[in-house]
A and B are shown apart, each in its own frame.
Chain A
Amino acid sequence: EAQVTQNPRYLITVTGKKLTVTCSQNMNHEYMSWYRQDPGLGLRQIYYSMNVEVTDKGDVPEGYKVSRKEKRNFPLILESPSPNQTSLYFCASTSGGQPQHFGDGTRLSIL
């Protein structure tokens, strides 16, 4: 089954404690990206990757890092999380002109 898998699905943590949200896709897609969804602000892109070792900033990249060492994986790293990064996060992937596939989301709460 074609899917985008995110882990963890839920996480409560504290300010400053480094965390990583993993994203993996099994569709051999070149393009992967991260979004955050906030009430009243909608979905906004954080980072994207056009292929292995190629990443670029989206609209709201501050406080986040990404890496793309393998085609299937695109982890989102919060080096020093802060409360304003409390949000619902989605990973997505696509290839060519195909529809973008989204993961089920990761709900992060940073206290």
Chain B
Amino acid sequence: KQEVTQIPAALSVPEGENLVLNCSFTDSAIYNLQWFRQDPGKGLTSLLLIQSSQREQTSGRLNASLDKSSGRSTLYIAASQPGDSATYLCAVGGSARQLTFGSGTQLTVLP
């Protein structure tokens, strides 16, 4: 059964720093990997989707990488801003489109 781990569980950084969030998974036979953002009491906003054949995806200040062989993905956030404060969730997609989620990294960007 797929298991997804996110480290760290919480992270606090000053505004302007570049940061990396980590995600690891146990089964490399994945369909895709998706990073989400969740604000308190809100739904999930899709940030980036990496297909299993891809190595990375970029959107604005965000860059996500995927290394299937080692079972790892990273989300890089450049020049962090207070508005980036949220919980970031990594989700691994299986062949039946089911998503297995990590427990998330709670990010706080201090002004």
Q: Do A and B come from one complex?
A: yes
B89 & A100 in contact (Cβ 8 Å cutoff): no
Of the candidate stretches B13-21, B22-30, B41-49, B68-76, the one touching chain A is: B41-49
Are B46 and A99 in touch, CB under 8 angstroms? yes
Return chain A residues, CB-CB under 8 Å to B36. 102
Whether the Cβ atoms of A104 and B98 lie closer than 8 Å is: no
Main secondary structure of the interface of B (DSSP, over half): strand
Min CB gap B99→A, angstroms? 6
Chain B interface size, under 10 / 10 to 19 / 20 to 34 / 35 or more? 20 to 34
Q: How far is the CA of A46 from the CA of B51 in the complex (A)?
A: 24
**Given A43-B89, A97-B51, A104 and B96 contact (CB-CB distance below 8 Å):** no
- A48 touches which of B32, B96, B101 (Cβ 8 Å): B96
Do most interface residues of chain A lie in helix, strand or loop, or is the interface mixed? strand
Q: What residues of chain B lie closer than 8 Å to A65, measured between beta carbons?
A: none
Q: How far is the CA of A68 from the CA of B99 in the complex (A)?
A: 19
Cβ of A100 and Cβ of B42 under 8 Å apart?
Answer: no
Number of residues on chain A facing chain B (CB within 8 A): 23
Q: Does B97 contact A (CB under 8 A)?
A: yes
Q: How far is the CB of B2 from chain A (nearest CB, A)?
A: 10
Interface residues of chain B, those whose CB is within 8 Å of chain A, are: 32, 34, 36, 42-46, 49, 51, 89, 91, 93, 96-99, 101-104
